[in-house]
Amino acid sequence: MSNAVVLNDKFENNGSIELPAKFEGIHSHNLYLYCKSYLASLRANTARVKNRSAVSGGGKKPKAQKGSGGARWGTLRSPLFVGGGQVFGPSKRNYNQKINKKQKVLALNFAINAQAANGTLFVADSLSVESGKTKDALSILNKLNQRDTLIVVDTITEKSYLAFRNIKNCYMIEKQEVNAYLISAYHSVLIEKSVLDALTKEA
């Protein structure tokens, strides 16, 4: 079973806790499906073109049907002419990919277990920075010595927000914002014990 690293009040290694045994048997495909669905939902879906029916103008037939010796023209807004409509261009499209609730839970559990297996899941009783100073928040992250860190707390206080907001390679979220994509996207995760207990209990 994978273990999460427990930190004391000084954010130093103070032992470990085991994750539930059922986290081990989850297939990685659940995480793949969730990340695919999550990223698809972020697509802007704003690419649009106008076809010949949407381009303004072109109401009058530009020339007679017969007699010119050329092709028949019904409108200057045809895709054949400059200023005409676009053929087969992008239009409104639904990129959403459905994933059920059970797979979402499995994906989150797999991501948490993967971080623990890598030794990059850190647990602390409280992550609030009462001083609100960036240097105090930075000292916490420096002790972890990780490339980047996702910080998960029960509630983001104003002081904690001020302390962490200007630190690069660091992102703080609340419990309800946790998802498998964010957990797996960061090199390490620093989480409050109450939040981890709630997540493992819900699993």
Q: Which residue, among 181, 161, 158, has the nearest Cα to 171 in the 3D structure?
A: 161
Dist. CA 167–CA 133, nearest whole Å? 11
Paired strand residues for 150: 171, 189
Q: Are residues 69 and 107 in the same domain?
A: no
Residue 97, sorted as left (phi over 0), alpha (psi -120 to 50) or beta, turns out to be: beta
Going by pLDDT thresholds of 50, 70 and 90, the confidence category of residue 14 is confident
Task: Let me know whether 59 and 103 are in one domain.
Answer: no
Tell me the pLDDT band of 120, cut-offs 50, 70 and 90: very high
55 with 153, same domain: the answer is no
Q: Does 193 share its domain with 140?
A: yes
As a whole number, the mean pLDDT across the chain is 92
pLDDT score of 203: 62
**Which of these, 201, 146, 143, 198, lies nearest to 171 by C-alpha position?**
146
Q: State the pTM of this model.
A: 0.81
CATH code of residue 103: 3.40.1370.10
Domain identity same for 116 and 29: yes
pLDDT tens-digit map of 128-184: 899 999 999 999 999 998 999 999 999 999 999 999 999 999 999 999 999 999 999
Q: Which of 78, 93, 108 is the last residue of a domain?
A: 93
Q: What is the tally of structural domains in the chain?
A: 2
- Domain end, chosen from 27, 58, 93, is at 93
Q: Are residues 56 and 150 in the same domain?
A: no
Is there a single domain that holds both residue 166 and residue 87? no
Say what the pLDDT of residue 66 is: 93
Average pLDDT over residues 185-196: 94
Query: Same domain, yes or no, for 185 and 147?
Result: yes
Q: Do 28 and 61 fall into the same domain? A: no
- Taking CA 155 as the corner, what is the angle to CA 122 and CA 6, rounded to the nearest 5 degrees? 15
Q: Which domain holds residue 55?
A: 46-93
